Structure 1
Amino acid sequence: MASLEGKVIAVTGAASGIGRAVARECASRNARLALADVQRKQLEEFAKELESEGTEVTATVVDVSDSDSVDRWIGATIDHYGRLDGAANIAGIEGDEKVFLITTRSL
């Protein structure tokens, strides 16, 4: 496995499911993490768990359907860590439209 030693990785949808698994894998490879999700309690609990295992982590409640919220989170991440090396946009948004017709405005 490749090391992510010291790399800063942002992960959306990090409180559960695939996002949580991706974050855990990055942590196992020694990445520093910026986690985001709308599920505050689960996100905070997961961040504390990772911190107790030695991972440097920030956790922020972010609604990925709100581009301003995402921009603030990414800006805060760069301010905190001084950089951003990678991102895993795992958070999902439901809707009734066909995927190729979805715009951020329709969310």
Structure 2
Amino acid sequence: MSSSEAPSLENQSIIVTGAAAGLGLAAGELLAKRGAAVTLVDLNTAKVEAEAKRMADAGLNVDAQVVDLTDRDEVQGLMDGVAQRYGRIDGLVNLAALYQPCEISEMSVEFWHRIVQSSLDSTFFTCQAALPHMTKAGYGRIVNTSSGVVLMGGAGWGAYCAAKAGVIGFTRVLAREAGPAGITANVIMPGLIATEHALETLDEQAIQVTTAMQCVPRLGEPDDIAHPIAFLLSREAGFISGQTINVGGGMNYL
């Protein structure tokens, strides 16, 4: 599909979390290229501001916001500020997460809470704070993020799997509750994607074993995730809600 044939996001106000690198950066840039006014959100001030400047210098409509997504008040301020600036919030993409392994037998309560807060609590806070603005407009698109690790049950990923499985259940309920207001909510479930952080975490053998189990035997690229996100944010995706879209190269988890 060429850019001229792709669903337009012209003049849409879209918030992307975890946008300083990896999947969030790829999604934010693609959405801006599709015509959206994109608010890039991250806790890494230097990176998110540098990426926003790079995109703005290329003529894209982007803004950087540094927000602790585990702080409910900061999240509320973010949503209210974006709604005031653009007049509405059309789309929300939750890609922020901590990707850290730890076996259950060695896991501290503090580690558990940190991982769950970064993926599940932040998703709850952002969705809840965006809902009134979307409901008022009678329109909204929400895309949350799970992980193929949820289906695989990889050793060392107990807290991460629990949080990402929670995102799926939460989003199904959100879709049911928000649907009458014209809001859709879906989940993207990425497989093994060649982000800098993932490549640092996994060794070459793990990558080879994983890709060999896929129908498409290669590492995914961040754009492989960004494109389905862009579609789910479009008006053309208005009859898709409460779904989990597995984007993992046809991985067989059984």
Q: TM-score, normalised by structure 2?
A: 0.38
Cα distance in 1 for partners of 2:71, 2:85 equals 21
Cα distance in 1 for partners of 2:58, 2:8 equals 17
1:13 aligns with 2:29: no
Instruction: Quote the offset at 1:58 in angstroms.
Output: 1.7
Considering fraction of residues, name the structure with more strand: 1
Gapped regions of structure 1 (runs ≥ 5) = 103-107
Q: Which residue of 2 aligns with 1:37?
A: 42
Gapped regions of structure 2 (runs ≥ 5) = 1-5, 100-110, 114-158, 167-254
What amino acid sits opposite 1:80 in the alignment? R
Q: Which residue of 1 aligns with 2:78?
A: 73
Q: Which residue of 1 aligns with 2:57?
A: 52
Q: How many residues align?
A: 101
> Retained in 1: the 8 A contact 2:32–2:62?
no
Instruction: Quote the offset at 1:19 in angstroms.
Output: 0.5
Structural RMSD (CA): 1.6
Higher relative contact order (CA 8 A, sep 6+): 1
Q: Which residue of 2 aligns with 1:96?
A: 112
Instruction: Quote the offset at 1:2 in angstroms.
Output: 0.7
> Retained in 2: the 8 A contact 1:34–1:59?
yes
> Retained in 1: the 8 A contact 2:16–2:28?
yes
1:27 aligns with 2:43: no
Cα distance in 2 for partners of 1:86, 1:4 equals 10
What amino acid sits opposite 2:54 in the alignment? E
What amino acid sits opposite 2:81 in the alignment? A
Other structure's SS at 1:96 match: helix
Q: Name the larger-Rg structure.
A: 2
Cα distance in 2 for partners of 1:78, 1:57 equals 14
